């Protein structure tokens, strides 16, 4: 048999296969990352590459990702916050508050990212957080990652969850891209021509796009120079508190006429490779659960769900919220 093609490359698998005559036992298992379907190729944890003939394969099973620890969620969220920090930020009782002119939820929300013992319950910092945002003309919105909530939240109004997908870059088999691709330190006019500005405040959006804390930004494009690119993306390299170096992918846009032809995967691969060249060992991105095409593309690349988060608008005891 062959590996089912619905098992994406980059997936951890166990392959049971027959051994040649003369071995003490007839079958054995190989566990590792699937690198090719034909011939079936698996890279093991000790970095050996094992090819298995189709007529020797008995069974193939995809393995689930290992459980994610709470500390790993906090660490990745800090790295992601540094990679999309808005234009102002402040730590308030272990909550990281970000402000970005009201552009995107990530850049305009407070998240409980302090270490255990340093993170104040929400009710103890609610007034200070509200005041911080009020000075900046914004309501208080919370970004609540899985398992990091501290204290009771007064009747939050939840939004749909956002999935954070992640991967060890060493486990990925990246598609190769065309020669007409590059990653620049700043978004040039051609890159911006493809970016879908959403607020009508172009200069403010560019400020949010161009912000990073203690890391490096790259703006990827695929297409010929002198014309709007057919695909773009933003990559942010930041270091997490646990020492891992992440490259975060965002702002992936593909021209309508080039969608569903693998171009989105190629621009993501370009950004991941660019990050790896600069020391990144892991990659992540955020995607809403209702974006089925993007989820399928990212999972095909080999990224898996790390955790989720939700936005919540706290509601005061009188039933009034910060946002009507």
Domain positions in the chain: 11-62, 70-156, 164-310
Give dist(CA 87, CA 99) in Å, integer. 6
What pLDDT, on a 0 to 100 scale, did the predictor assign at position 44? 81
Q: How far is CA 187 from the centre of its chain?
A: 20
Per the listing, tokens 């020492």 go with 243
Q: With bands split at pLDDT 50, 70 and 90, how would you rate the model's confidence at 131?
A: very high
pLDDT at 159 over 80: no
Q: With bands split at pLDDT 50, 70 and 90, how would you rate the model's confidence at 7?
A: confident
Question: Three-state secondary structure along 103-152?
Answer: CCCHHHCEEECCCCCCCCCHHHHHHHHHHHHHHCCCCCCEEEECCCCCCC
Within 12-129, strands assigned E span 12-18, 27-36, 40-43, 49-52, 57-62, 88-92, 95-99, 110-112
For the segment 122-150, the average pLDDT, to the nearest whole number, is 92
For the segment 84-110, the average pLDDT, to the nearest whole number, is 97
What pLDDT, on a 0 to 100 scale, did the predictor assign at position 229? 94
% the chain with pLDDT above 90: 57
What pLDDT, on a 0 to 100 scale, did the predictor assign at position 160? 76
pLDDT at 155 over 60: no
Closest CA to 146 of 241, 73, 82, 240: 73
For the segment 159-187, the average pLDDT, to the nearest whole number, is 86
Give dist(CA 103, CA 88) in Å, integer. 12
What pLDDT, on a 0 to 100 scale, did the predictor assign at position 9? 79
Mean of per-residue pLDDT scores for the chain: 88
Cβ atoms of 228 and 194 within 8 Å: the answer is: yes
Cβ atoms of 161 and 305 within 8 Å: the answer is: no
For the segment 117-143, the average pLDDT, to the nearest whole number, is 94
pLDDT at 317 over 60: no
What is 164-310's CATH topology?
Aminopeptidase (3.40.630)
Q: With bands split at pLDDT 50, 70 and 90, how would you rate the model's confidence at 87?
A: very high
For the segment 310-323, the average pLDDT, to the nearest whole number, is 64
If one compares 24 and 18, the residue with the highest pLDDT of the two is 18
For the segment 28-46, the average pLDDT, to the nearest whole number, is 84
If one compares 100 and 199, the residue with the highest pLDDT of the two is 100
Among 51-60, 68-77, 151-160, 295-304, the range with the most confident prediction by mean pLDDT is 68-77
Residue 315 is given by DSSP the state B
Q: With bands split at pLDDT 50, 70 and 90, how would you rate the model's confidence at 322?
A: very low
């Amino acid at each position: 048999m062959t590996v089912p093609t619905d098992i994406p490359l980059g997936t951890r698998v166990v392959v049971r296969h027959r051994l040649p005559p003369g071995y003490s036992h007839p079958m054995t298992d190989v566990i590792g990352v699937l690198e090719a379907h034909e011939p079936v190729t698996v890279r093991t944890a000790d970095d050996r590459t094992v090819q298995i003939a189709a007529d020797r394969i008995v069974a193939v099973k995809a393995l689930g990702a290992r459980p994610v620890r709470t500390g790993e969620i906090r660490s990745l969220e800090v790295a992601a916050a540094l990679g999309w920090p808005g234009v102002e930020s402040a730590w308030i009782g272990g909550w990281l508050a970000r402000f970005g002119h009201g552009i995107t939820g990530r850049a305009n929300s407070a998240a409980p990212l302090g270490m255990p013992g340093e993170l104040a319950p929400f009710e103890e910092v609610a007034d200070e957080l509200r005041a911080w945002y009020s000075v900046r003309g914004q309501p208080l919105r919370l970004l609540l990652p899985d398992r990091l909530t501290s204290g009771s939240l007064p009747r939050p109004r939840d939004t749909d969850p956002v999935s954070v997908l992640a991967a060890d870059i060493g486990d990925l088999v990246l598609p190769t891209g065309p020669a007409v691709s590059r990653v620049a330190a700043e978004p040039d006019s051609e890159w911006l021509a493809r970016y879908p500005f959403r607020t009508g405040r172009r200069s403010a959006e560019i400020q949010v796009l161009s912000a990073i804390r203690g890391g490096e930004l790259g703006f990827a494009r695929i297409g010929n120079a002198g014309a709007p690119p057919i695909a773009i993306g933003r990559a942010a390299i930041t270091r997490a508190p646990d020492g891992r170096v992440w490259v975060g992918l965002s702002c992936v846009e593909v021209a309508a006429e080039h969608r569903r032809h693998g171009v989105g995967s190629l621009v993501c691969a370009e950004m991941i490779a660019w990050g790896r060249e600069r020391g990144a060992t892991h990659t992540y991105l955020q995607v809403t659960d209702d974006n089925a095409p993007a989820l399928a593309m990212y999972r095909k690349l080999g990224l898996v769900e790390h955790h989720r988060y939700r936005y919540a608008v706290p509601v005061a005891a009188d039933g009034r919220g910060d946002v009507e």
